[in-house]
Amino acid sequence: RLSLRAIARVARVIADSESSRADLLRFTGYPPERVRVVPLGVSPMFHPVRPTDRPMDGAVRLLHVGHCGPYKNVETLLRLVPVLRRRLDRRVVLVKVGGDFTPAQRALIARLGIGADIEHHVHVPLAELPRLYASADVLVQPSLYEGFGLTVLEAMACGTPVVAATGGSLPEVVGDAGLLVPPTDLAALTEAVARVLTDSPLRTWLRARGLERAQAFTWERTARATHAVYREVHEESK
């Protein structure tokens, strides 16, 4: 059996974020000089589009894209809905894309009385996602952890303001183009989302900065960086 050190003499590991790289090194002891970070990219299909079918009901529309597993912290997102409604004195709709709610999450929805305020799309064709991003007032991503966080990048590429948690790699991807809060701090999350919704200059700035930042994450850049790692391994093995 080959040890990690033996494997590392002839191999490289590619991580998609500095956060993932740090986790790999912490849990495996893999030689740090053999781990390269190559961020993911965002497809050109994610770009600003004009929403054509947003309901004209005056409601605030929050968007979350992803499954409902534990690290997605969906419970904090659900608790945000009634708190934000009281804060803004407006109806708040959570547009949830992806995954079935767990029994515990469904019980929480019932306890909070927000069933009528959730639009749940379990399966959405990829081509429909830009429209959903564009129809939202803000993407809310309160994950406890993300290895990369592609949905925040997609939202920024579509011109949708982002409020995300400080979990995992999200700060790396969002940078200064969104608002970041501790993942389980409901008060901080409420304040951040409320700011985006009520501060027009901030919202405009986040939209512009998000579009700018998303342009740095291309699949061409990912491919070139990955190719460079393969060339490095090839040259070393001669």
- pLDDT on residue 9: 60
Q: pLDDT tens digits, residue range 152-182? A: 999 999 999 999 999 999 999 999 999 999 9
* Contact yes or no for 203/162 (Cβ under 8 A): no
Q: Low-confidence residues of the chain, pLDDT below 50?
A: 1-2
pTM of the predicted protein model: 0.92
Q: What pLDDT was estimated at residue 56?
A: 73
Q: Are the C-beta atoms of 170 and 183 separated by less than 8 Å?
A: no
pLDDT at 234: 82
Q: Which residues lie below 8 Å from residue 157, measured CB to CB, with a gap of 6+?
A: 42, 46, 47, 210, 211, 214
The amino acid at residue 49 is: V
Q: Which residues of 81-97 are buried (b: 16+ CB within 10 A; e: fewer)?
A: bebbbebeeeebbbbbb
Task: Give the residue from 192, 183, 190 showing the smallest Cα distance to 161.
Answer: 192
pLDDT tens digits, residue range 13-39? 999 999 999 999 999 888 899 999 999
Q: Which residues 6+ apart lie within 8 Å of 63 measured at CB?
A: 95, 97, 132, 133, 135, 136, 138, 139, 140, 155, 160
- pLDDT value for 5: 59
Residue 106: predicted pLDDT: 97
